[in-house]
């Protein structure tokens, strides 16, 4: 027969063993937590990330298992999301999953962050197991153009120009080994480009371009003298390595306005028979339109002529009548391609040509009379000579 004291000892031992078993089951070494999904992967600072974790049971069935998320910077649990989730039962060698939505701090730097969880049985909170999973946060560069400047401001054919491009990395990650190139469009028929780099002026090396940083790229280009009044499209390509070390490219279309300027000059001005002939030429770099050329004397327009258009390097000849000999002005007005009016005045002197007759500016009647008198005198001389011979 078992003594009462021995019975008490046996009962105490059973209670100790039972308590130890309870503690072991509370810790549940057969339960493990793993990260099963991160969307997106990697996640950018400022974005929302979906996290899915799984509780896997590699032992006997368990009841009332609780999982709790413990987010800290740079992660914030979105409103409406519960920190804890209770699973009534996880069968032996089964698993359960749960997901959370978290916001990543916009100022987070690219790194791998730890996200902490606890899991435990409802009746044994003090025996919770802490598990950390790794969340990949990686920024992405986003390069934008803030503004473009040209020097000189108005680009003309024949100019060497400097193009300044102001940029900013508005993305969440840095760009490394950043290189930029600027290439102008080529003629679709000839394949020739009328805007070309001056030496190595079509390339610019920037290097590291941090998130939030502003930078300036400069290019030097030469505009061919054959360039027309138009906007030439060009492509600026930005190449860089992202934070994964992968090469990325971004391209921008940039319009290069070549405006040019018409300049009308008087090449020559002289008498041509009875008319005053004036030759003009466009020595500028753009078309002149709606030309009006006037001959002015005594503050009055004596004669005028018009021309629809005069292209660069081209010339026209104008003839004027109704003038007098002496000083005069050639007044030339015209529009450029932007319809801006320009006016030029050139002083000239109208002098008689070697074929002109004194007192006449625009006819040959004096010369005809003189010739008639000569003919009459010669006829009279011949008549007198014949009369003497007959005597």
Structure confidence at residue 383 as a pLDDT band (50, 70, 90): low
Structure confidence at residue 373 as a pLDDT band (50, 70, 90): low
Please report the pLDDT score of residue 99 as a whole number: 97
CB 162 within 8 A of CB 216: no
pLDDT of 163 above 50: yes
| pLDDT tens digits for range 81-125 | 999 999 999 999 999 999 999 999 998 989 999 999 999 999 988
Show the domains of the chain with their CATH numbers.
Answer: 4-137 (2.60.40.10), 143-258 (2.60.40.10), 264-350 (2.60.40.10)
Cβ-based neighbour number of residue 33 at 10 Å: 18
Q: Which residue, among 240, 223, 252, has the nearest Cα to 147 in the 3D structure?
A: 252
- Residue 325 region, left (φ>0) first, then alpha (ψ -120 to 50), else beta? beta
pLDDT top residue among 39 and 13:
39
Structure confidence at residue 225 as a pLDDT band (50, 70, 90): confident
CA 355 to chain centre: 65
pLDDT of 288 above 60: yes
pLDDT of 23 above 50: no
How crowded is the C-beta side of 356, counted as CA atoms within 13 Å? Answer: 18
Q: Which residue, among 244, 214, 344, has the nearest Cα to 42 in the 3D structure?
A: 244
Please report the pLDDT score of residue 25 as a whole number: 39
pLDDT of 389 above 90: no
Cβ-based neighbour number of residue 312 at 10 Å: 21
Q: Which residue, among 296, 298, 308, has the nearest Cα to 269 in the 3D structure?
A: 296
């Amino acid at each position: 027969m078992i003594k009462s004291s021995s019975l008490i000892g046996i009962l105490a031992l059973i209670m100790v063993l039972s308590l130890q078993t309870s503690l072991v089951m509370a810790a549940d070494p057969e339960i493990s937590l793993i990260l099963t999904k991160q969307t997106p992967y990697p996640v950018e600072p400022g974005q929302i990330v979906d996290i899915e974790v799984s509780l896997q049971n590699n032992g006997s069935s368990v009841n009332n298992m609780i999982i709790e998320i413990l987010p800290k910077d740079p992660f914030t649990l979105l409103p409406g999301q519960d920190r804890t989730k209770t699973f009534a039962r996880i069968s032996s060698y089964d698993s359960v999953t749960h997901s959370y939505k978290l916001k990543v701090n916009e100022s987070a730097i690219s790194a791998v962050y730890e996200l902490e969880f606890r899991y435990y049985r409802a009746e044994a909170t003090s025996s919770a197991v802490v598990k950390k999973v790794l969340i990949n946060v990686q920024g992405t560069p986003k390069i934008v153009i803030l503004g473009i400047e040209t020097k000189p401001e108005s680009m003309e054919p024949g100019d060497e120009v400097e193009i300044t491009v102001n940029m900013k990395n508005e993305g969440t990650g840095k760009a490394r080994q950043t290189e930029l190139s600027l290439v102008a469009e080529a003629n679709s028929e000839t394949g020739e480009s009328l805007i070309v780099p001056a030496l190595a002026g079509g390339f610019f090396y920037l290097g590291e371009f941090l998130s939030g940083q502003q930078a300036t790229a400069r290019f030097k280009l030469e505009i061919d003298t054959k360039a027309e009044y138009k906007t030439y499209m060009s492509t600026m390509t930005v190449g860089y390595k992202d934070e994964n070390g992968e090469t990325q490219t971004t391209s921008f279309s940039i319009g290069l306005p070549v405006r040019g300027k018409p300049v009308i000059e008087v090449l020559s001005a002289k008498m041509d028979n009875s008319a005053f002939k004036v030759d003009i030429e466009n020595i500028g770099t753009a078309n002149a339109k709606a030309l009006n050329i006037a001959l002015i004397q005594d503050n009055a327009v004596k004669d005028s002529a018009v021309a629809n258009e005069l292209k660069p390097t081209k010339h026209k000849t104008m003839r004027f009548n109704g003038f007098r000999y002496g000083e005069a002005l050639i007044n030339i007005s015209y529009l450029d391609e932007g319809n801006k009016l320009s006016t030029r005045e050139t002083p000239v002197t109208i002098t008689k040509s070697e074929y002109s007759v004194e007192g006449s500016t625009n006819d040959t009647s004096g010369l005809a009379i003189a010739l008639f008198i000569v003919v009459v005198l010669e006829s009279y001389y011949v008549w007198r000579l014949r009369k003497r011979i007959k005597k």
